[in-house]
Structure 1
Amino acid sequence: MSDIQPTPAQEEGTTTTVITATTHLTLPAHPVPLTYDELNPRSKPVEFLGPIGTGCISILAPLFTYIFFYTCNDAVGCTPTTVSGWKYAWSLVGNFPSEAGYLWEWKSFAVYSGWYAYCIACWKFLPGDKIQGNLLRDGTRKTYKMNGLYTLLLTLGLSLGVLLNPGGIELFTWLYDHWVPLVSSSLVMATFQALWVYGYSYFNGELLALGGNSGNFFYDFFMGRPLNPHPPLFPSFDIKTFNEVRPGMILWLLLNISCACEQYLRLGTITDSMWVVILFEGWYTIDCLIQEHTILNQMDITTDGFGYMLSMGDLTWVPFTYGLQARFLAFKPVHMGPVWTTVVVAIELAGNYVFRQANNEKGNFRAGKNPKKLEYMTTERGTKLLTSGWWGRSRHPNYFGDWLMALGWCLPTGFSTPLTYYYIIYFVILLVHRQMRDDEACRHKYGKDWDRYCEKVPYKIIPYVY
């Protein structure tokens, strides 16, 4: 690289920087900062079919969280197959024979609020690394405290202490026995957060998300108007990043453990299918928190605003729908046997390998490391795009690994109902949509360079297939 040496200003108000012996770049000596409106231009409400689509999702997503319970429980089985069965399931809404199906319960709300407060306390008082995020449009970087793994380890340690005490297993089934009121409590928290950050973003002058500033309430409420919201007087507490992998992800694991305790009380043992679900979904959570810093490069953090899409997704959708397989197995156990267990474990391990290797390649490359000596292309912007390794096989190989892992979580439930396979169907739709959003953003960002990159890496998610 050529030496870069400053030279005296050639005229008042400018500086000249010598890039090579024959090339000069003249820059303003005192660049004018962008105004608030220039930093936060109006966006067009086009994602998810605009305000109508986001409004429908805002209603349907929490509704399906309840549907997954009322159509899949030990009172009605899983997915009623007759008209009378559906009528009976509907009659149980708000009139369930146990606390598990109560629509609201103040005790559950207190427990959920206490859980969220506990997670905040862990963030505040447990040690953790300080990591800088990506460069923002206003030229600043936020610093994040990464101690989610310590929060998880402390939580698992406390949980183990409960389980090992006499009556601890019965006590841990409390989560399973208060499922719906906990869902409702999480929805209250998610809705409150989305409304509060939306309103507060009009007064604190914070940086907004480019996709959530349309001026339409229903659209911006869902997509998220603020990019990095924080409570007053606590600028280091980024609500969006905190929610991403802490309260919901860790609660998902605790709910799964509660389901395993319920199965143990009913059968006197834990089936192989439950062990597979618990161990692999648990490892996914642990791995996510080990690699917590990598979320700073994800679209959720770098691009999306914090609104109902992320608050409801993080606090309600993840813990209470991702664990549907464990809840199903609690009241309808499946015995897989050694052969089927081996097949499922192989699929799960393959998915985990692809997911982790792909993310490691990307993480190392973004950190300026290239231990595998992977090939790449340089764009006109100076950005480097990987074109070999897993990222040479497809543009989103980590999504492919995610799909394989999702399949491995669903297969232990057998084939008696399609409902327990909702997760992989949902994940296919989610990641295909995210891939389309990412491709569109990259095409806008890189122009012709993106077309050239797509020629080198033609497959979108599944290597050599799609």
Structure 2
Amino acid sequence: MTVLEKSTIIGKESLLLLLSILGFLLYSLSLCVIYFEEKSITRENFFLIFVDCLAFFYYSAYLIVMALFFNENYNKTSGTFSLIISLLVFFVLEISGFNSVDYLLQHLVHMAVASLVLGNLLALWCYVRSLSLPLNEINPKTIGKDTIYCYLMGREVRPRLFGYLDLKMYVNRVCVVSAVLLDCAFLYREFVRNWTLQSYVVNKSFIIIEIMHIIFCLDGVVTEYTFEYSLETQKEGFGYICSVGYFIYPFLITTVPYHFLLTKTELATWKIPIIVFLFIVGFLLYRIANNQKYNFKVNVLKPGVKFIPTEIKNGKLLCSGLWGFVRHPNYLGDIMMYISFTGLTITAPAIMPLMEIPFLIHRSIRDNKLCKEKYGYAWEKYTEKVKYIFIPRIY
């Protein structure tokens, strides 16, 4: 075993990180318990629920065989194909009398807890496995750091199960496909189960929020292939934060639309055009910016694209299109969409999407620091040309 760190078990940076994670988990679970309908859980049905959770995540990413097949080539159709198969399996079970939608919605908290267990087990396995890796396969950001920091952030960037299955890409697929399945379950409950009621009135606010939300999640599935070129995939480690975050994400991100469904909340008329505008503009910024970045990555020499060369091999700084106005147009689009998901309401579930805003701001600050260290003078030239981070002439 290669010993890389000569440090304490936990340092100040790791302690703050650990406390923030614990606070986030406590808030998340309490939010789920308050706003999700539940059936009682006993010792007899706990194992069954856990197995069902495994099955849910299993077919959410389609079959393991297909995941292995697409492992080395996440092309432009594999994520969509997995989603189609998952939806077919899910709703064939429903119409066959297995009541898969009801079961899922009645055990959301139980599955969220089971997903935390799965995420922790996977993170622990990755950490233990990484202890025997050579230095050149270790995440450089964890070298010299304490044990807790390494466990949280991940000592390996792209761990592979059995040496083949890319866990980061696979668990990302689990995350986004599961979120779409939950959204579809909500819509199914709203339309199919209630349309026969004579007194039933369509919840227009829920429908609008849900449509925006499902477009956002579907985009993550359809454009899965672009995730391969993201900073998170190529540079960030796969540890506790990444593993647990992916598994719990589908349950947390859907708390707002499910809250609208349960409480039958109707938004004030003046709020509807505002949130729709925020979402449309945010989505266009997010998707166009990411497409421009992806196309630049795969074809740096494309005519008409402006960039600043660096001394790093294959390292060029894009300053064309939306990236010529601000440094993170995709983050700005993300923030606008997350604000729209709140419905401009002041409720406990609305806090969840708003928590993404400080995260993205902090990430932009961290990206700036990392790029300055990596590119040096080239980054200074880039920041002179692209001065603003999110909004031109403001920030």
TM bucket, shorter chain: 0.7 to 0.9
Q: Counterpart in 2 of 1:112?
A: 53
Residue type matched to 2:148 in 1? Answer: F
Residues 464 and 124 of structure 1: is their aligned pair in 2 closer, same or farther, counting only changes over 3 Å?
A: farther
Deviation at 1:186, TM superposition (A): 0.3
Residue type matched to 1:60 in 2? Answer: G
Q: Distance in 2 between matches of 1:61 and 1:191?
A: 15
Task: Note if contact 1:376-1:385 (Cα within 8 Å) is conserved in structure 2.
Answer: yes
Q: Counterpart in 2 of 1:134?
A: none
1:240 aligns with one of 156, 168, 179: 168
- Over the matched positions of the two proteins, sequence identity in percent amounts to 22
Matched, 1:463 2:392: yes
After TM superposition, list the pairs within 5 Å mapping 1:48-59 onto structure 2: 50-59=13-22
Residues 119 and 173 of structure 1: is their aligned pair in 2 closer, same or farther, counting only changes over 3 Å?
A: closer
Q: Name the larger-Rg structure.
A: 1
Residues 436 and 99 of structure 1: is their aligned pair in 2 closer, same or farther, counting only changes over 3 Å?
A: same
Matched, 1:217 2:150: no
Deviation at 1:195, TM superposition (A): 0.6
Query: Which piece of structure 1 moves more, 362-371 or 295-304?
Result: 362-371
Q: Distance in 2 between matches of 1:278 and 1:420?
A: 14
Residues 340 and 58 of structure 1: is their aligned pair in 2 closer, same or farther, counting only changes over 3 Å?
A: closer
Task: Note if contact 1:376-1:387 (Cα within 8 Å) is conserved in structure 2.
Answer: yes
Query: Which piece of structure 1 moves more, 64-73 or 389-398?
Result: 64-73
Q: Distance in 2 between matches of 1:68 and 1:425?
A: 14
Q: Distance in 1 between matches of 2:42 and 2:26?
A: 15
Task: Note if contact 1:100-1:180 (Cα within 8 Å) is conserved in structure 2.
Answer: no
Tell me which protein shows more strand as a share of its residues. Answer: 1
Residue type matched to 1:357 in 2? Answer: I
Deviation at 1:153, TM superposition (A): 1.3
Q: Deviations over 1:171-228 (max 9, x none)?
A: 4132221121111110110010011110011235481111234452211111111221
Task: Note if contact 2:5-2:146 (Cα within 8 Å) is conserved in structure 1.
Answer: no
**Partner-residue secondary structure (3-state), 1:173:** helix
Q: Distance in 2 between matches of 1:193 and 1:44?
A: 24
1:186 aligns with one of 115, 120, 142: 115
Residues 102 and 427 of structure 1: is their aligned pair in 2 closer, same or farther, counting only changes over 3 Å?
A: farther
Residues 303 and 126 of structure 1: is their aligned pair in 2 closer, same or farther, counting only changes over 3 Å?
A: closer
Q: Counterpart in 1 of 2:39?
A: 99
After TM superposition, list the pairs within 5 Å mapping 1:153-232 onto structure 2: 153-162=84-93, 165=95, 171-205=100-134, 207-214=137-144, 216-232=146-162
Deviation at 1:273, TM superposition (A): 1.9
Residues 182 and 129 of structure 1: is their aligned pair in 2 closer, same or farther, counting only changes over 3 Å?
A: closer
Q: Structure 2 unaligned segments of length 5 or more: list them.
A: none
How does the TM-score come out when normalised to structure 2? 0.86
Q: Counterpart in 2 of 1:328?
A: 259
After TM superposition, list the pairs within 5 Å mapping 1:256-271 onto structure 2: 256-264=183-191, 265=193, 268=200, 270-271=202-203
Q: Distance in 2 between matches of 1:282 and 1:321?
A: 14
Q: Deviations over 1:36-85 (max 9, x none)?
A: 98xx975999x9962202321342232222121234457xxxxxxxxxxx
The higher relative CO (CA closer than 8 Å, separation ≥ 6) is in: 2
After TM superposition, list the pairs within 5 Å mapping 1:60-459 onto structure 2: 60-72=23-35, 98-99=38-39, 105-119=46-60, 122-125=63-66, 143-146=72-75, 147-162=78-93, 165=95, 171-205=100-134, 207-214=137-144, 216-232=146-162, 235-244=163-172, 246-264=173-191, 265=193, 268=200, 270-316=202-248, 318-336=249-267, 340-368=271-299, 373-381=304-312, 383-411=315-343, 415=345, 417-459=346-388
Query: Which piece of structure 1 moves more, 147-156 or 253-262?
Result: 253-262
Residue type matched to 2:381 in 1? Answer: R
How does the TM-score come out when normalised to structure 1? 0.74
Q: Distance in 2 between matches of 1:212 and 1:279?
A: 40
Deviation at 1:418, TM superposition (A): 3.0
Residue type matched to 1:299 in 2? Answer: L
Task: Note if contact 2:307-2:319 (Cα within 8 Å) is conserved in structure 1.
Answer: yes
Tell me which protein shows more helix as a share of its residues. Answer: 2
Q: Distance in 2 between matches of 1:346 and 1:100?
A: 41
Residue type matched to 1:68 in 2? Answer: L
